[in-house]
Amino acid sequence: MVLAQLGGSISRALQQMSNATIIDEKVLNDCLNEITRALLQSDVQFKLVRDMQTNIKKIVNLDDLAAGHNKRRIIQQAVFNELCKILDPGKPAFAPKKGKASVVMFVGLQGSGKTTTCTKYAFYHQKKGWKPALVCADTFRAGAFDQLKQNATKAKIPFYGSYMESDPVKIAVEGVERFKKENCDLIIVDTSGRHKQEESLFEEMRQVSEATKPDLVIFVMDSSIGQAAFDQAQAFKQSVAVGAVIITKMDGHAKGGGALSAVAATKSPVIFIGTGEHMDEFEVFDVKPFVSRLLG
């Protein structure tokens, strides 16, 4: 279910409840079941949805609500709060400081949009007066360096990589050192992806991470991967210290559920979303407006 449809289904469920003359246990259950169905169809992980339903039932005790209280409003607010709670891991991501060199390492499966997102992230900061630089430590995919080079050139961002060197750790270390010397304040390391969550990918990520000591590791996830989101995000988190998430391809037929699962699995906030193939199709992620939009 795409984002707009999810918002529609949830607000319809709340509306139906609003239309009921009396709000009793059955009306509340029907409403929550409807919302549950919408969230599951939108790829929110089953356990998250089940916990949310239990929490809402705990908060909204119909018997205890004094007569005259706006029960509909209370339920609506409870749904809003629960969705916000899932998306807010309770601690903000490391925030690089302008003028002070920070290393940010990007990880994710091949095709997730990692390389594109590295440039978007660099471009976003460059527009705000930062001095970003891109390092291509993906020696696995043929053409990865060319792609990064092309993007970086278009955005006028310095880059580092090699056609000859096959050791990603060596390239990463050299790139980071060079850009530190050049006083870049945001050194972005693009790492290799694989089609599957293979051990060799995780081992390589661990090595690059140990060698470059990133201040922040960003996990990039394609929003269209469906119910696989939780397990995939968790597998990355178990291998490297993921500290933030970027969800790509939120345009088109994007489902919102993956974002909730990725946060739950990594205990890290979503910081940006990708909304298209172009460099400027990139938005800061804010929990409350996102949930408001979700609820229609």
**Residue ranges binding ligand GDP (CB under 6 A):** 108, 110-116, 193, 248-249, 251-252, 274-277
The minimum distance between CB 119 and ligand GDP, in angstroms, equals: 8
Q: Are 219 and 242 in contact (CB under 8 A)?
A: yes
Using the minimum distance from each CB to ligand GDP, give the nearer residue, 276 or 296. 276
The minimum distance between CB 152 and ligand GDP, in angstroms, equals: 13
In angstroms, rounded to a whole number, what is the distance separating the alpha carbons of residues 61 and 64?
5
Using the minimum distance from each CB to ligand GDP, give the nearer residue, 45 or 192. 192
- Residue, CB closest to ligand GDP: 274
Using the minimum distance from each CB to ligand GDP, give the nearer residue, 108 or 214. 108
Of 174, 133, 175, give the one whose Cα is nearest residue 152.
133
The minimum distance between CB 28 and ligand GDP, in angstroms, equals: 38
The minimum distance between CB 173 and ligand GDP, in angstroms, equals: 21
Q: Please name the residue that has the structure tokens 């390239």.
A: 171
The minimum distance between CB 204 and ligand GDP, in angstroms, equals: 15
Lay out the sheet containing 102-107: strands in order across. Answer: 159-160, 132-137, 186-191, 102-107, 216-222, 242-248, 270-274, 282-284
HSE of 91, CA atoms in CB hemisphere, 13 A: 5
Using the minimum distance from each CB to ligand GDP, give the nearer residue, 273 or 295. 273
Using the minimum distance from each CB to ligand GDP, give the nearer residue, 125 or 249. 249
Instruction: Give the DSSP H/E element, type plus range, for residue 270.
Output: strand 270-274
Residues 8-15: contacts with CB under 8 Å, at least 24 apart:
8/296, 9/34, 9/35, 9/37, 9/38, 9/41, 10/34, 10/35, 10/38, 10/39, 10/79, 10/294, 10/295, 10/296, 11/295, 11/296, 13/38, 14/72, 14/75, 14/76, 14/79, 14/295
Using the minimum distance from each CB to ligand GDP, give the nearer residue, 247 or 264. 247
Using the minimum distance from each CB to ligand GDP, give the nearer residue, 126 or 147. 147
Of 86, 83, 87, 125, give the one whose Cα is nearest residue 216.
125
Using the minimum distance from each CB to ligand GDP, give the nearer residue, 48 or 254. 254
Q: Are 265 and 288 in contact (CB under 8 A)?
A: no
Q: Please name the residue that has the structure tokens 């509909």.
A: 72
The minimum distance between CB 283 and ligand GDP, in angstroms, equals: 10
The minimum distance between CB 275 and ligand GDP, in angstroms, equals: 6
The minimum distance between CB 234 and ligand GDP, in angstroms, equals: 19
Q: Are 244 and 212 in contact (CB under 8 A)?
A: no
The single-letter code of the amino acid at 282 is F
Tokens of 274: 């990708």
